[in-house]
Structure 1
């Protein structure tokens, strides 16, 4: 078996499983809470620990660089280790009995999948776009670069800084990355600039190096910054409903995206003329 296929299959399974479990939880009445509005129902406890541990296992799998995979027998052992011990705070004890069983069952499901794939010498699957969790040292170096090159302060950039927004910074409403074709436009520009991979740095959680085809500069809970090795552009999604672009990305979006003016953030003028 080609180890690349095992890695692709593991990532795809965990990403799909996470979406399935989140959707299942979203269908629970009252957000999975009991009548007191605080405690979880038994059904909720059978679901949310599962997507938490799936996310943790996916992070463990994506710490492995797809460009530098080990031999398949070593990779199988690493996948099984991820199934057994992929942890982050939301997957750590204490659990009650229902939650503990849910976590155990979900770990076993992934381990069984890995063993099933590994038992097929000719196993093949479709590719998955590149995504790798950065090491702590990599994340620290990228954050230093953001501060030095773009003036990012504690993960914040324009228009969230106290200073006026520079004229060459493009600030759009966050809806442009959800309702419009903004994400496609960003990817198009980066492809045309010859930028195959992008760094994504979040306010919390994992930081990533990822394929340009899955770059999505959107606010999804944590503040987010995007950059690449050329350091000549930046994207920043804030909790205040804005997404900002600087450098060559800003210039190219203004020059080539016909709908860009429709999405300009209405607070621009107020901040620009403090």
Structure 2
């Protein structure tokens, strides 16, 4: 399975749950909009948008037991993808059809958000802690972040 379209009914329920859990009250999220959660970190996208970083993120998720990821794109498309196919970038398909995106698992214990302003936000205590410990230079790449 490369991508499996999620039905509109299921997508609406998942979106409501995601918005409630992660305090998303607009079409965009932290750091472009306030969020009271403290288990989030927003990186400059150029720090994340390379094959090495994406492979590290995929490996971390796999080690956490993640096999499938839900993908919400700004276009309204909602899919299930294999974690190995994760590309958490703004318009990662290079044709501007993807737009902003949210990626998370059914458990919703982590989330990734790619914005149109060149930020990629990670949420979830375990994920943020692992990324900070793995990337020793993380604090050099958070120009938009107000929490870290």
Quick check: TM above 0.5?
Answer: yes
Q: Give distance in 2, aligned partners of 1:192 and 1:178.
A: 21
Name 1:215's counterpart in structure 2: 86
Larger relative helix fraction: 1
Question: Does the 8 Å contact 1:199/1:208 carry over to 2?
Answer: yes
Name 2:101's counterpart in structure 1: 224
Q: Give distance in 1, aligned partners of 2:7 and 2:35.
A: 34
- Which 4+ residue blocks in structure 1 deviate beyond 6 angstroms? none
What is the Cα deviation at residue 260 of structure 1?
3.1
Query: Structure 1, residues 83-131: CA drift from partner, whole Å, max 9, x if none?
Result: xxxxxxxxxxxxxxxxxxxxxxxxxxxxxxxxxxxxxxxxxxxxxx532
Q: Which has the higher contact order (CA 8 A, sep 6+)?
A: 2
Question: Does the 8 Å contact 1:172/1:243 carry over to 2?
Answer: yes
Q: Give distance in 2, aligned partners of 1:171 and 1:144.
A: 22
Query: How many equivalent pairs are there?
Result: 141
Question: Does the 8 Å contact 2:23/2:35 carry over to 1?
Answer: no
Structure 1 residues 196 and 272: CA distance shift in structure 2, 3 A: closer
Name 2:130's counterpart in structure 1: 252
RMSD of the TM alignment (CA)?
2.2
What is the Cα deviation at residue 187 of structure 1?
0.4
Query: Structure 1, residues 197-234: CA drift from partner, whole Å, max 9, x if none?
Result: 00000111421100000111111141111111111111
Of residues 113, 132, 142 in structure 2, which corresponds to 1:236? 113
TM-score (norm 2): 0.84
Q: Which runs of 5+ in 1 are unaligned?
A: 1-128
Q: Which runs of 5+ in 2 are unaligned?
A: none
TM-score (norm 1): 0.47
Question: Does the 8 Å contact 1:169/1:246 carry over to 2?
Answer: yes
